[in-house]
Chain A
Amino acid sequence: MSDTNAQSVRYVRDTILPQQPPPASAVGFIGWARANLFSSWFNSVLTVISLAFIFYVLSGVIPWVFQSVWNANSLSECREVMVATWGDTHGHACWGVIKERWLQLLFGFYPPELYWRPIVALGLLLVALAPVLYAEKVPSKLLIVTALYPFVMPWLLWGGTIWAPLMVMAGFGLGYMAYTILSTKIGSLGAIIAGVLVPIVWWLFLSGAVASALASVLPLALQSVESRQFGGFMLSTLIGVVAIGCSLPIGIFLALGRRSDLLILRALCVGFIEFIRGVPLITLLFVASTLLNIFMPPGTNFDIILRVIIMVTLFAAAYMAEVIRGGLAALPKGQYEGADSLGLNYWQSQRLIIMPQALKISIPGIVSTFIGVFKDTTLVSIIGLLDPLGLSNAIRADAAWNGIYWELFAYIAVLFFIVCFGMSRYSMSLEKRLRTDHR
């Protein structure tokens, strides 16, 4: 049988040919370009238009950024240098304004000799965030820094006696002590009530006297800085960090309230969330700047930054609540029923079963709310606080820099971009890390 073919066919290949490399037009850069840039005549047209557009933009931006004036003390001086060097004033940046004012854009009117305090606060913030953001790489002992940070940060920024934050901390300690001692004696409910009441009594009536007594014995204090000296990117970061930090827990409780079976509780939560989401942030900031003092007992006059932080936090919490509610709704019902069948009570099942999954689902929404809050801190410039945008107006009011726009806007935009882009990239990596389904 095998011989038949051998006689009728002249030539039979008995070895396989070595593989040829693919044609040069299908691999490498050319192949990639053919597939991605010139796959059809329409795509080719789009590519050419895009290239022209990129060239147009870069030919304007690159000379503007790099053929620029760094050493000048006023805009007119800048223009003189430009005319002397390039012959015209168009298309060249005057970075002199950034060189002169970049510290002011970062710190506002914070006393320059105290700049180390916001910097230390920022450094501590990073240390405090590390065990939260990178839980598996960072030793969990650092969580102590995270717990202490809310007390240390205001003291570092505003200064004043060290005893005030310590007294606030002591209140929490006392409340916890009251709870642990009483829970064995009078049952958990009484202990919880005592655990709430004791610190309140402490803060309202005792802590002030104790703090002043201690301060007279051991006057440890930082030079205090007034709120109106706060400004620049530091102010944005302060408002953003506090609002982000506080809005997540408040948002979780609001979301749980909105999904609970308790009619009145649900109505209260829905009313709050829909009211806050229905009005623009700027009206809430008007409330902070003009009305919040009217709502408080006569005679109280608390800090404008604190008022703004309260309103921004409430605003962010309402949005956060909706994001988390979406996560809760996306969980299959079996998870709730499974938790019930294990005999877990409401809080246990929320803490151990529901929330970890719901929060994981809502990470993209939570982070985009964070980014939104951080961007919205610029709105405080409208009620007269000196955030970077407010400061840029102030700088322009200076006769030396009257008429300068692009350099200031570019600087501010780059600062915001770095922070917001970083946040969104972190959320993507977190999503990838927490993904447990096998795709």
Chain B
Amino acid sequence: MSSQSDPLPDSFRLSMLIYDTRYRSMTIQIVALIGALLGALFLIDNTISNLNALGKEIDFGFLSEPAGYDINQRLVDYMSRDTHLRASFIGLLNTLLIAVLGCAMATVLGVVIGVLRLSSNWLVARIMTVYVEMFRNVPVLLWIVLAMAVLIESLPSPRDFRGENPEASMMLFDSVAITNRGFYIPEALFSRSFGNIHFFGDSSLRFDLSLDLLALLAVLFGSIYAVRRLGKWAHAKQEATGLRPTTWHYTLAILVVPMLILLTVLGFHLGYPELKGFNFSGGTYMRNSLIALWLALSMYTAAFIAEIVRGGILAISKGQTEAASALGLRPSRTMRLVILPQAMRVIIPPLISQYLNLTKNSSLAIAVGYMDITGTLGGITMNQTGRELESVLMLMLVYLVISLSISLVMNWYNERVKLVER
């Protein structure tokens, strides 16, 4: 490499900044930096002078003013006299809610469709191809407004449930009501509840965390950990003696018994929705905008995930399957022990970037009136206060933080599977 550098010149000339390979990269970089700084300065200077001309200043004080609008789908308490910051916080929680729900359903749907596209059944494979092409080639916004229209137009309204001979009836033993205003599903109630922990006092970011939920999660993760330990023990036993002890009934017991005990201690029961007057009350209410967004986003993203899953499975060479069957593994075990672990390495990175896309696409909630962060901070708050610059900056910052955290997870995973590679 050292032979590439030019012989030392006698003296420094200005043209060497361009023509001498030792200085050229420096020159280009400094010019680029100066150009970028000048560009940024230009934009900032323009912004300041424009804002001065409009008589505005960059001021985030509007966040502590009362919002004055209502948010009807929310995870934590909110009233219209709460601040704009509180409204944005509710919106952020709603964004995260739709992202989590959507990713979960899109994964399930996508994996099923991707596997079925590889089915040896010609008809099933064709139907799934039609599904994928249909969803991939039509804009997601169209699917969202279409889903909303389906829900509003084709489902019964709550008043159809009234009277002696109602036009519509509740489903699943009178526990679920599907109406054009949204879905009413049973809610989990605890008669001997542990109560809540309250965070952040009286501030705009306050929220309650249910101790019951924490306890349930703790027991669940504890059980899963115990099951994994049991699996390891069985594995060690198999290595030592050649026989694998039967563990499935222990596994079942570990998973079910502690959870049942906890639920009994908490006094778990379901609260069913009931028709009162012109609407339902009780139960958990999922607004139709949430349902429409959830359905449309997850079905749209599922088409992409299906392609990723299909590609991942096809990427594993046929020799692997043949080697596994030569070893005498059954097809189901070949899939579980040979194909899937290798396919996962191909599937997971693009899968996570699909999760990212779904989260970003959830900003289209504004088209159906679901109050996510775009609908609150970038919608009503921005229009009411006229603080476009501050609102859009905050909105971008929130999405950037979400995206970068998902990217971090992806990088961490990539590093982890890289170690497994030779």
A379 and B378 within 8 A (CB)? no
A274–B407 CA distance with the chains assembled, in angstroms: 10
Interface residues on B, range: 35 or more
* A417/B134 contact (C-beta < 8 A), A282-B364, A283-B399, A389-B142 known: yes
Contact among B127, B367, B407 with A54 in the assembled complex (CB-CB below 8 Å): B127
B32, B123, B139 — most chain A CB neighbours (10 Å): B139
State whether the Cβ of A261 lies closer than 8 Å to any Cβ in chain B: yes
A194–B388 CA distance with the chains assembled, in angstroms: 40
B403 cross-chain contacts in A, Cβ below 8 A: 277-279
Contact among A265, A281, A416 with B137 in the assembled complex (CB-CB below 8 Å): A416
Interface residues on A, range: 35 or more
B400 and A275 within 8 A (CB)? yes
List the one stretch of B43-51, B185-193, B279-287 in contact with chain A.
Answer: B43-51
A50 and B124 within 8 A (CB)? yes
State whether the Cβ of A413 lies closer than 8 Å to any Cβ in chain B: yes
B149 and A409 within 8 A (CB)? yes
Contact among A47, A278, A298, A421 with B53 in the assembled complex (CB-CB below 8 Å): A298
A381 and B141 within 8 A (CB)? yes
CB distance from B399 to the nearest CB of A (A): 5
Dominant SS among interface residues on chain A: helix
A51–B124 CA distance with the chains assembled, in angstroms: 9
The residue in chain B whose Cβ has the minimal distance to the Cβ of A286 is B392
List the one stretch of A97-105, A166-174, A287-295 in contact with chain B.
Answer: A287-295
The residue in chain B whose Cβ has the minimal distance to the Cβ of A257 is B32
Chain A contacts with B in 28-47, Cβ cutoff 8 A:
36-37, 39, 43, 46-47
* A39/B153 contact (C-beta < 8 A), A291-B392, A371-B137, A420-B138 known: no
State whether the Cβ of A426 lies closer than 8 Å to any Cβ in chain B: no
List the one stretch of B114-122, B160-168, B220-228, B258-266 in contact with chain A.
Answer: B114-122
Chain B contacts with A in 150-165, Cβ cutoff 8 A:
153
A264–B26 CA distance with the chains assembled, in angstroms: 9
* A409/B399 contact (C-beta < 8 A), A54-B127, A261-B25, A294-B46 known: no
A376 and B25 within 8 A (CB)? no
Chain A 294-308 against B: per-residue CB contact (8 Å), 1 yes, 0 no?
Answer: 111110000000000
Chain A 366-389 against B: per-residue CB contact (8 Å), 1 yes, 0 no?
Answer: 000001000111110110000001
A371–B134 CA distance with the chains assembled, in angstroms: 13
State whether the Cβ of B389 lies closer than 8 Å to any Cβ in chain A: yes
A434 cross-chain contacts in B, Cβ below 8 A: none
A375 and B138 within 8 A (CB)? yes
Chain B contacts with A in 8-62, Cβ cutoff 8 A:
18, 25, 28-30, 32-33, 36, 43, 46-47, 49-51, 53
* A280/B360 contact (C-beta < 8 A), A37-B121, A50-B124, A290-B388 known: yes
B50 cross-chain contacts in A, Cβ below 8 A: 293-296, 298
Q: List 8 A-B contacts (CB under 8 A).
A: A43-B120, A268-B33, A280-B360, A283-B395, A290-B382, A295-B50, A405-B146, A413-B138
The 7 A-B pairs of least Cβ separation, nearest first, read: A420-B137, A278-B403, A36-B122, A280-B360, A375-B139, A290-B388, A280-B363
Give me the interface of A with B, judged by CB distance under 8 Å.
Answer: 36-37, 39, 43, 46-47, 50-51, 53-54, 189, 261-265, 268, 274-275, 277-283, 286-287, 290-291, 293-298, 371, 375-379, 381-382, 389, 405-406, 409, 412-413, 416-417, 420-421, 424
Give me the interface of B with A, judged by CB distance under 8 Å.
Answer: 18, 25, 28-30, 32-33, 36, 43, 46-47, 49-51, 53, 119-124, 127, 133-134, 136-142, 145-146, 149, 153, 360-361, 363-364, 366-367, 374, 378, 382, 388-389, 392, 395-396, 399-400, 403-404, 407
